[in-house]
A and B are shown apart, each in its own frame.
Chain A
Amino acid sequence: SEKKPREPQIPRSLIKEIFRHFAKMPVTRDAFQIVEKCSERYFKQLSNDLEAYTHHAGRKTVEAADLEVLMRRQGLVTDKMPMNVLIERFLPLEYRMLLIPVAVGGNKVIPCK
């Protein structure tokens, strides 16, 4: 049996886990399938938007600033809810370390910007 090449996607188990964590109630199998479809759609939309914002800034590389503009437009990042607060709240420690500058010993700031 040969596998046909599928589109890359977020693993189902991960989507399930995250959705279950936030839903806090039983979710049927069909509902999970719909959530999966929605995630796919979401990524399509996301890439289109990021392309537009990056192009708008006259760049060809997507940067953190583009993502922040996108999240502001989505109403996730506001004046009362800065990006860093969201990062602190939703990302595990090792990713937070990569995103939020932290001063460490030896007068170094990680990530170095």
Chain B
Amino acid sequence: MAAAGAEERQVLAQRLKAAVHYTVGCLCQEVEEDKDVQFSKQTIAAISEITFRQCEIFAKDLEMFARHAKRTTVTTEDVKLLARRSNSLLKYITQKSEELASSNMEQKEKKRKKSSAAKGERTPGEQEAAVTENEDSNMA
């Protein structure tokens, strides 16, 4: 029973890693076009591994911050607190969260119109957050 659960978890972790790896590959391609450099396959793999492990740290910290505020749900406030240490990052995240909030308001006004356009334009930060949330729900 426990072994089956462990195996399932491993499969899930592999899947998540593959998803992260794919996204990192896409992002690296963008940078390649932008900066006119080449990424070796090993580099991309290393970046995706780093990202995956960083997500574990993020998940633990976010969980801790939410619990500190006596909540069980991770909110944007927790994410801002996570990015507090670096000023530029904090600015960026705050701006993004404001954009998200305003777009959410618009969506609510539009009574849930199909938001395929918004989903297509996901920033790397959001994607990471999404992965982190995913992990978070797994860890809970």
Contacts and interface: CB of A to CB of B under 8 A. Distances in A.
Given A56-B77, A73-B61, A65 B68 contact: yes
A52 interface: yes
Interface in B34-67: 61, 64-65
Most buried by A among B68, B70, B77: B68
Contacts of A98: none
B11 interface: no
Interface in B61-90: 61, 64-65, 68-70, 77-78, 81, 84
Interface in A45-75: 49, 52-53, 56-58, 65-66, 69, 72-73
Interface string B77-108: 11001001000000000000000000000000
The DSSP consensus for interface residues of chain B is: helix
A38 to B, nearest CB: 17
The DSSP consensus for interface residues of chain A is: helix
B140 to A, nearest CB: 16
A58 B69 contact: yes
Contacts of A69: 64-65, 68
A52 B68 contact: no
B15 to A, nearest CB: 26
B81 A52 contact: yes
Contact of B81 (A56, A58, A65, A72): A56
Contact of A57 (B61, B69, B84): B69
Interface of A: 49, 52-53, 56-58, 65-66, 69, 72-73
Interface of B: 61, 64-65, 68-70, 77-78, 81, 84
